[in-house]
Structure 1
Amino acid sequence: MRMTTWVGAAALTALLTACGEQTPPAQAATVSADAQALQSHLEFLASDALEGRDTGSRGHEIAAQYIAARFKALGLEPAGDDGTYYQRITFRRSTLTEGSAAMSVDTGSEVVELEYGDEFLTGPSAYTTTSTVTAPVVFVGYGLVSDEFGLNDYANVDVNGKIVMMVSGRPEELPSEEGAHLNSSKTKFAAERGAVGIITLHTPMREEVRPFKVSAMYQRAPRITWLNPEGEPNVTYKNLQGSAYVDYRAAAPLFANAAIGMDEVFAQLEKGEQPQPFELNTKVTLSRASEHEQITSPNVAAILPGSDAELQHEYVLYTAHSDHIGVTQDLSQDDHINNGAMDNASGVSVLLETARMFVEAAERPKRSILFLSVTAEERGLLGADYFAHYPTVPLQQIVANVNLDMPVLLYDFADVIAFGSTHSTLGSTVAEAAGQFDIALSEDPMPEQAIFTRSDHYPFVKKGIPAVFLMTGFTAKGEDEDGGEIWGKFFAEHYHRPSDQPSLPINYEAGVVFTNINYEIGKTIANDDERPRWLPDSFFADLD
């Protein structure tokens, strides 16, 4: 029989003594993840019955119910809305009406129509069903603003009431994580300065990395946005009435009257120079029609109250996304269900086992632990972003976020990578926790991917909350395994494909170690007298 009620170490020792049996204190204080429990969670969440757990689907609803049932069975307090475990989110799914997208360039001497799909791309509007905007165009380089890096691509130009045109990407000299954050803020920079539209120029440099035709393949997919309690779309700027992504091979008319030619801009980019803003002296008309549909999907949240009278009002937040990408439309495949075993049934399984460990530990942590399973990560970190905007506990009392996303549990790993560890005091916490299991903390082996900005911890980072996100490292314990090769093969052959399923050679004992490390990270944060803090030189220390 497993004890799941609160039994203090002293009470447990007294009980065993009364039975004529003594347990060493160290053993009584030990708690560990269970491989069989990890396997049972993962196999259910990644089963065909859940049909890939797409946001708003029946399969994801079943996954959410399963997670809530596990929280309830552990005796955790509901932390959703209205005394439930659920925080239900309303989303707007927007689709571009077929044949509605149009873009024309007025040079003063002629009007040039660009062809949708071949020369320009656009997406649906989350605000209106029909929109048309005509305005002068201003070139704004990369479209970036940062005092820290000395960037202001809007210097000495007025873009109020105008359409801005910017080149894709960012300067190479920017650090990857900081650069990724700035790149994701381009729309915000334009909207704050009164622009009414954005044109992004697909460059020859970008063509070498991701051809324009590849981007065109994904343009007809719906866009999903969460709605606030007033029914307004999130982080969408009403003044931006149109957008376009233009292939450089069709962009010559935009530069017809410009003092600086398009080829000169590309030459500057090739040399690593920063193009300066200037008026293009042309007008552009952007038109589109959009269709809207409402769907709902829940976050699932639960709290383990802390034991300290003061610190129990602060929270250590664990996150893991329960959604995946659903059913593929690729008819060339026999298996159409994207089960998402590693992405992210594995992370949710670790979350559930971590919750059990905290419940069954000999002593409760001083701070409260908030367990949050989020929806719509695959749609743009939307569930986490909604919770960061509408938290069910005071946001300023969340001291740290430990994110669990896609641990690749396919080998006996000897090291971990902790995205975010170099930005806050959580780095030393991770190193100490991993060291308890003879696991090394390694540097990010792929900084160019800027993964610190690409999972559910990022919305909390933008709100000022220190965060860390662990991944299995590229070193394996055994000489017969190459961790980096196995990790790379998973991404090449299984990531976001139906083959990411429980039939993979999952190493659940490695999952035990991974879970134990994440548990120790949270336990240390919860019991430390001081809350984690950003390092003084971190770019992310002062975003909010």
Structure 2
Amino acid sequence: MTFSFFSVAPRWVLLLIAGSLAARQPVRAQRPAPLTRPLTKALSRVSAADFKAHVAYLADDKLQGRQPGTPGYQLAVDYVTRQLQKRGVQPAGENGTFVQKVRLRRAFAEPAGAVLSSPGHSYQYGPDFTLYPNPQQPAATVTAPVVFAGFGISAPELGYDDYAGLDARGKIVVVTRREPRQLAGNEKLYATDLLTILQAAAQHGAVGVLLAAPKPKASLPNPAKGLVSVLDSAGRVVVSRSYASAQLQVVGSVSAEVLQRLFVGAAQDTTRTFAALRAGQAASQPLPGTLTATTRSRYKDVDSYNVVGKIPGSDARLRDEHVVHSAHLDHLGFGAAVQGDSLYNGAHDNATGVASVLEIARAYASLRQKPKRSVLLVLVTGEELGLLGSAYFAKFPTVPKASIVADINTDMPTIIAPLLSVVPLGAENSSLETEVATAAARLGLTVEADPEPAQNRFIRSDQYSFVVQGIPAVHVKYGNRTADGRNNLSEQVQKWRAATYHKPQDDIHGTFDFEAGRTYAQLNFLLGYQVAQNPQRPTWKPGNFFGRRFGGGQ
């Protein structure tokens, strides 16, 4: 579970979304109908022992951390394909297979070729600036005037636009990564996403973007590990978290001290400018002089794969619509040694999520009468690289995009204690909230608000890739209830995360509660089944931001 720059940059470089979502009262199901005998039987087929066996295989050392493009990842692809076939799942990938090819390009910046200068002054790579690799142009040089565009937000429909009255055409745009107070909730999550910032600059004609550190002496990102994008068959970038347009030839970061220098001679100094921004007022302006930026990039391309299976629906009218159960199959491979171990097995993240989908497939397979809609089981690549496999599938699905009615994503359910309550991330945006409440009530689980809103988990996993394609989505996480009544599971998870998350210690020998995994898979199966049975496809709630932005809502 991650987002694109998390492994190479400070958190503020990718997102500045520390504002939390407002707490809300959970939706409670009204006396859900009792489970039918076929559903009860299907739920009983979900096996804690088999769940554990899936995790043990996928997190075994021989899979070498399931890094995309490696033999270990291919072993994982082969394993889940065999498991789906055993359950009678039909292939729904490309050309009658279970796979969809995803061409990944890792682009590396060449620091020796990086230049940032203004007339009479050159800046030092590292302490003063860094430049990100350009996945489409191996070499790029831009000399252009400079403008300051506040937070880089262009959202006039929300009453705020840093580009209002600012001519950014042919210019290098500098934006601050300080926290904006003008927006909150979903609006803030979207507007401060790095890709949104880059897209806004490109739409206003900019040729480069420089992200200014929010504090003096803050370290700048070092993209030495490379940034990854997805290419189409013609070699063009079609999915990326760090590339918006060929027009934006240079993207990078500058220190707060460089920002001060760029403001010398400007109509408004930084003190007045940031005072205005804190007051909720746009404070964009041209900056004196020009900048020259040069970046050099090199590439490593590999083929990876999404795995896609299908359980055809039983209703003549609805079988052409699809409910997606997704989970990411990849992890980090080898990395920095921790306590003498450099193999990142990814048992919790996300072998448990994949195991959930495989057990969900087992539950569907046991049904003589399949649900009305068809069900897609999608195991994606490149989540740890920036949600790339899911973004590619959601943008270029192997079924008609309009036929996908919902995504139910499974990413690191963190099964370290009995599952007594759940947090349905993103459900509040759509009618899926009611479906979650009903499914949870049927299993005796309670539904809670997010205990860790500052983690911004909803936009950090694969369900978000479906949301930006206009498809309602949900990602069910653990709740806070504990069997001893202390209701502090969130605290336990935070301690576990500090010791285990994205470390070699996340292996099969760690802490697990596989009965909790069984319950989790049952819940997600029941949720997907309800959506597949409901004659009405899920809808965005009236006025919901994501629905308006991506779903064509009002």
Whether TM exceeds 0.5 here: the answer is: yes
Amino acid in structure 2 at the alignment position of 1:181: Y
Unaligned runs of 5+ in 2: 1-34
Partner residue in 2 for 1:224: 228
Q: CA deviation at 1:79?
A: 0.7
Deviations 1:487-534 (CA, angstroms, capped at 9, x unpaired): 111221111001111111210011111111101100100001100100
Partner residue in 1 for 2:154: 145
Give the SS at the match of 1:351.
helix
CA distance in 1, matches of 2:71, 2:433: 39
Of stretches 167-176 and 192-201 in structure 1, the one that deviates more from structure 2 is 167-176
Partner residue in 2 for 1:237: 245
Does the CA contact (< 8 Å) of 1:28 and 1:362 recur in 2? no
Partner residue in 1 for 2:319: 312
Number of residues of Structure 1 aligned to a counterpart in Structure 2 = 508
Give the SS at the match of 2:433.
helix
Q: CA deviation at 1:479?
A: 4.1
Q: CA deviation at 1:480?
A: 7.4
Of stretches 44-53 and 471-480 in structure 1, the one that deviates more from structure 2 is 471-480
Give the SS at the match of 1:313.
coil
Partner residue in 1 for 2:281: 274
Does the CA contact (< 8 Å) of 1:463 and 1:543 recur in 2? no
Q: CA deviation at 1:174?
A: 2.0
Deviations 1:261-298 (CA, angstroms, capped at 9, x unpaired): 123323344x4433421111221111111111211100
Q: 1:314 to 1:42 in 2, by over 3 A?
A: same
Partner residue in 2 for 1:26: 37
CA distance in 2, matches of 1:25, 1:495: 39
Q: Superposition pairs for residues 51-200 of structure 1, below 5 Å? A: 51-106=64-119, 111-184=120-193, 185-200=196-211
Of stretches 481-490 and 468-477 in structure 1, the one that deviates more from structure 2 is 481-490
Give the SS at the match of 2:333.
coil
Does the CA contact (< 8 Å) of 1:112 and 1:253 recur in 2? no
- Deviation above 4 Å: which 4+ runs of structure 1? none
Does the CA contact (< 8 Å) of 1:93 and 1:292 recur in 2? yes
Q: Superposition pairs for residues 406-425 of structure 1, below 5 Å? A: 406-425=412-431
Pick from 185, 190, 201 the counterpart of residue 212 of structure 2: 201
Q: CA deviation at 1:177?
A: 3.0
Q: CA deviation at 1:329?
A: 2.9
CA distance in 1, matches of 2:124, 2:325: 47
Pick from 304, 329, 336 the counterpart of residue 297 of structure 1: 304
CA distance in 2, matches of 1:25, 1:489: 40
CA distance in 1, matches of 2:446, 2:466: 26
Does the CA contact (< 8 Å) of 2:415 and 2:514 recur in 1? yes
Deviations 1:40-94 (CA, angstroms, capped at 9, x unpaired): 0001111111111112121111101111111111111101111100101111111
CA distance in 1, matches of 2:118, 2:499: 43
Q: 1:56 to 1:522 in 2, by over 3 A?
A: same
Does the CA contact (< 8 Å) of 2:186 and 2:545 recur in 1? no
Give the SS at the match of 2:389.
helix
CA distance in 2, matches of 1:178, 1:496: 29
Deviations 1:293-345 (CA, angstroms, capped at 9, x unpaired): 21110000000000011110000011100001111134x63111111111100
Give the SS at the match of 1:358.
helix
Q: CA deviation at 1:28?
A: 8.0
Unaligned runs of 5+ in 1: 1-23
Relative to the length of structure 2, the TM-score reads 0.89
Of stretches 476-485 and 177-186 in structure 1, the one that deviates more from structure 2 is 476-485
Q: Superposition pairs for residues 527-542 of structure 1, below 5 Å? A: 527-542=533-548
CA distance in 1, matches of 2:218, 2:344: 26
Q: CA deviation at 1:27?
A: 7.1
Relative to the length of structure 1, the TM-score reads 0.90
Q: 1:71 to 1:27 in 2, by over 3 A?
A: closer
Q: CA deviation at 1:242?
A: 0.9
Identity within the alignment, %: 34
Asked if 1:439 corresponds to 2:484, the answer is no
Give the SS at the match of 2:165.
coil
Partner residue in 2 for 1:322: 329
Give the SS at the match of 1:510.
helix
CA distance in 2, matches of 1:199, 1:314: 43
Amino acid in structure 2 at the alignment position of 1:175: A
Amino acid in structure 1 at the alignment position of 2:328: H
